[in-house]
Chain A
Amino acid sequence: MAESEILEVQDLTKDFRRGRGPVTRAVRGVSFTVRQGETLAVVGESGCGKSTTARLVARLMQPTSGRVIYDGVDVTRYSTRRMRPLRPLVQMVFQDSWSALDPRMTCRDIVAEPLRVQGRYGRAERGRVDELLARVGLDGRYGDRTPATLSGGQRQRLSIARALALEPRLLVLDEPVSALDASIQAQILTLFQDLQRDLGIAYLFISHDLAVVRHLADRLLVMYLGQVVEEGTGDAVFGAPRHPYTHGLLSAVPVDHPSARGQGPGRLAIGEPADPTNPPSGCVYRTRCYRAADSCAETAPVLLGPAEHREACAFPQARSLVELRGPAG
């Protein structure tokens, strides 16, 4: 593993089972790395396994198989106690800031909590809490307030301050802006960019919003039914997407200007995701694919090619955004 790789995930698989019901494979054989200071985005529809992947990476969930490696250390089988000194490396920001903040604590206590838990909270760290609040754009007068008195954007800033307290090298961001209003969303995205520039922090950014992913991601994974179907750099994947599912997602994003309406080829992703408890044979995407052939039902395609850009498809086709969305789309 290269020096700069903070996180490596190998062949991660997670099965869920409710009671004696059938097994649902939420994540199947996902592998990737995140390097120092970069943003890796995971994009896909709800139920594609992107949030489960985030929780596996954050060690909030035990994988069924596969490995999670923090900074060269395989932590897959680590107990709560052994994880403790490694926890500061990877922190997380959640989508729902109501749920992410204990309603009984003050802002200052919330930000101080990680320092206390790690036994780093001394007299010198009092100032550090106010520094962190200021870093995310909350001035000191918010310190004694409770989360309920803050707006959605302010609560998300508070969550970010807490996640920064232990000086992590990777932040797992699980849909961190999708519950926010447009103007606040832009502010938080800009805050993420500033933090990355100033602190050299890496992001694993989970999102269903392709435009936001385009804006923030250096590299991205497109997930469908628990699998990575296409991955590569942002410029490569958005410049010439090759997997029919990526085509489908991109063709569904609303146009920027009314003049682009109806200029594209229409909706390329048919219907809705297949049932993950009973996935289709062969290629899992073939039931919605506009390019599916009979042979797709027989063999499951694997990711092939260089990490800069590769896809799991028997009949890939590089298409431009203009082709998929029309000239002004």
Chain B
Amino acid sequence: MTTSLTLTAPARVTSLRSVIGSITRYGAVATVSWGVLALIVLAALVAPLLPFYDPYTQNLGGAYLPMFARADDGTLHLLGTDSLGVDTLSQLLLGARLSLVIAVGSVLVSAVIGVTLGVAAGYLGGLIDRFVVVMIDVSLAVPRVLFMIPVVAVLGSSLWLLILLIGVTGWVVFARVVRTQVLSLRRRDYVDAAIMMGSGHLAVVRRHILPNLRSSVVVLASLDLGSVVVMEAGLSYLGLGVQPPQTSWGLMIEQAQDYIVTDPRLLIVPSIALVVLVLAINLGTRPFTAEFRPGRRRGAESTVLPGA
């Protein structure tokens, strides 16, 4: 394992350089977004190693400290403290870990299930399509939380269960869009051309359907990431999500609601963090999704700008 790592290290450096090169190519907004994302992820990764205060240590004497305040013992709290005197910045950084893991994990689960079912329905049609459409309708009719409550009640709350639950109940967003798109992609003549070469259906899906879905799936995922972080917050509030003393951005927002009048800072800090994360994801993925604009297709051959 170690040897293989050292062997591949030089290659990684060059590839990292080319990755940075290809990112900066997409303009300032995307570059900044990726920088912010990298910072958040990095902070979340190294948070336990940073010389911050133990977020599990309560200090009731130092509760509700404003930003940049010092506690009685002289420690500096850059973003203040909460009702139990816990340092907000430390909480924010540790909360990022859980929020990111839950968000990325469950969106991945949703995307895999949704894309699989969407492609199967759109490409194969017939009974499978009808089954998936009914599933979509049912899923849209039943609130996700209603499904989660009994499951958590029986199995108990855990991180992995949470990811699985949010993921499994979130497939509809992906399946709906992917199904409609596959319905139209399947009718493209290049699919017929591939079949005439002797390609099997799996090869057609792999080579011609999935690559053409990439941009819309990336858009859906980036939109979904934001809503999942918020959903995790809601679940935590119901006691189904992250349980104290562990923390997440969602839980922080939920807990802050009790102090919305007395100390809005507790709500504002994690909310801003959440907005920055979602914005960075959306703006950062835009260059990769903008390349697929249906309007450009015919436009290239218009009377105004004929094709090359």
Contact = CB atoms under 8 A, between A and B. Distances in A.
A183 interface: no
Nearest to A88: B198
Contacts of B188: 99-100, 102
B259 interface: no
Summarize B's interface: helix, strand, loop or mixed.
helix
A83 B190 contact: no
Contact of B199 (A59, A88, A117, A148): A117
A98 B258 CA distance: 58
B196 A87 contact: yes
B195 A60 contact: yes
Nearest to B306: A151
Interface stretch (B25-33, B239-247, B294-302): B294-302
B287 to A, nearest CB: 16
A94 B307 CA distance: 19
Interface string B180-220: 00000001111011111111110100011001100000000
Given A104-B211, A150-B307, A91 B196 contact: yes
A66 interface: no
Interface string A85-102: 101101110101011111
Given A87-B196, A117-B199, A118-B198, A101 B190 contact: yes
A68 to B, nearest CB: 13
Contact of A148 (B189, B203, B300): B300
Interface string B207-239: 110011000000000000000000000000000
Contacts of A117: 194, 197-199, 203
A218 interface: no
A58 B297 CA distance: 27
A215 interface: no
A28 B187 CA distance: 24
What band does the interface of chain A fall in when counting residues whose beta carbon is under 8 Å from B? Answer: 35 or more
Interface in B27-63: none
A60 B196 contact: yes
B200 A81 contact: yes
B154 interface: no
A113 interface: yes
Nearest to B212: A104
B190 A90 contact: no
A52 to B, nearest CB: 13
Contacts of A149: 300, 307-308
A148 B296 contact: yes
A90 B192 CA distance: 13
A151 B198 contact: no
Contacts of B193: 92, 94, 100, 159, 162-163
B198 to A, nearest CB: 4
Interface of B: 187-190, 192-201, 203, 207-208, 211-212, 296-298, 300-301, 306-308
Interface of A: 55, 58-60, 80-81, 83-85, 87-88, 90-92, 94, 96, 98-104, 113-114, 117-118, 148-152, 154, 159, 162-163, 166
Closest 10 CB pairs of A and B: A84-B198, A100-B189, A151-B307, A87-B198, A94-B189, A114-B197, A117-B197, A99-B189, A102-B190, A99-B188
